[in-house]
């Protein structure tokens, strides 16, 4: 009923980015886009993960709004709805105040108490800050959890893509995620991963059963291509 009345549904976000990197990684690897199981990880201050099967997105971590899914810079990500009503009652929050809490004061910022910027978190961890370490551990845990869930949804995975500001540039985070995927036969090439920052590169080892690739996103290019197609009376690909 609420879906019918208000169009409450899983919209998902970062779609342009996920669509670009899923296609681009197949071009980069020379494999057919229409015959791959791909998990695209757009990891940044906002983050989402998408499962792509045979050229179609079949699940994504964000929902009606960008709050659901991964723990993000200031967004809470997955949370028990009952916890939210509990907090509203205890803190006497109205809906706008709750929205501000879950969108702007939670996530990495809320857990660390320091910052939503991973560079600040890394610096704080180096100084022995336990809350900063907890924030990073939780951030990585959510990524691992979604990759695992989407591997099950896809009945296996052929390619895992990292993109977004953190995904493209945080080598230790990629390493930490991939080390927890050894059950899939994922093997990271430490030297290649450590040297990869903001460039297209396969960071998995030669004998890895799953290709792990860094693909910088280019949403502007995808928007331009879509616009050109529409102006010329074609459906965007």
pLDDT tens per residue, range 78-103: 999 999 999 999 999 999 999 999 99
Domain tally, the chain: 1
Please indicate, yes or no, if residue 12 is contained in any of the structural domains.
Answer: no
Distance from chain centroid for Cα 108: 14
Please indicate, yes or no, if residue 13 is contained in any of the structural domains.
Answer: no
pLDDT, mean over the chain: 96
Query: Which residue segment(s) compose the domain that 133 sits in?
Result: 18-231
Please indicate, yes or no, if residue 172 is contained in any of the structural domains.
Answer: yes
Find the CATH number of the domain harbouring 31: 3.30.420.40
Q: For the stretch 115-128, what's the b/e string if a residue is b when 16 or more beta carbons lie within 10 angstroms of its beta carbon?
A: bbbbebbeebbeee
Query: Are the C-beta atoms of 85 and 79 separated by less than 8 Å?
Result: no
Spans in the chain with pLDDT lower than 50: none
Please indicate, yes or no, if residue 55 is contained in any of the structural domains.
Answer: yes
Model pTM above 0.85: yes
Please indicate, yes or no, if residue 236 is contained in any of the structural domains.
Answer: no
Please indicate, yes or no, if residue 69 is contained in any of the structural domains.
Answer: yes
Please indicate, yes or no, if residue 60 is contained in any of the structural domains.
Answer: yes
Please indicate, yes or no, if residue 103 is contained in any of the structural domains.
Answer: yes
pLDDT tens per residue, range 9-22: 999 999 999 999 99
Sheet of 201-202, strands arranged across: 56-60, 47-53, 37-43, 159-163, 211-214, 201-202
């Amino acid at each position: 009923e609420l879906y019918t009345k208000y169009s409450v549904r899983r919209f998902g976000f970062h779609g342009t980015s996920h669509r670009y990197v899923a296609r681009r990684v197949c071009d980069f690897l020379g494999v057919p886009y229409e015959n791959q199981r791909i998990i695209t990880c757009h990891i940044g201050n906002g983050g989402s993960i998408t499962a792509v099967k045979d050229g179609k997105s079949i699940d994504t971590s964000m929902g009606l709004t960008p709050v659901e899914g991964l723990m993000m810079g200031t967004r809470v990500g997955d949370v028990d709805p009952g916890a939210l009503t509990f907090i509203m009652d205890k803190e006497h929050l109205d809906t706008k105040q709750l929205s501000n809490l879950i969108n702007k004061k939670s996530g990495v910022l809320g857990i660390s108490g320091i910052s939503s910027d991973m560079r600040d978190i890394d610096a704080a961890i180096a100084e022995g800050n336990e809350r900063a370490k907890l924030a990073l551990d939780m951030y990585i845990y959510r990524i691992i959890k979604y990759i695992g869930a989407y591997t099950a949804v896809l009945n296996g995975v052929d390619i895992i893509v990292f993109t977004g500001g953190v995904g493209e540039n945080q080598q230790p985070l990629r390493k930490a995620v991939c080390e927890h995927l050894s059950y899939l036969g994922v093997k990271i090439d430490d030297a290649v991963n450590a040297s990869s920052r903001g460039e297209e590169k396969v960071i998995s080892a030669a004998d890895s059963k799953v290709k792990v690739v860094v693909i910088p996103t280019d949403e502007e290019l995808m928007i331009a291509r879509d616009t050109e197609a529409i102006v010329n009376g074609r459906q965007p690909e």
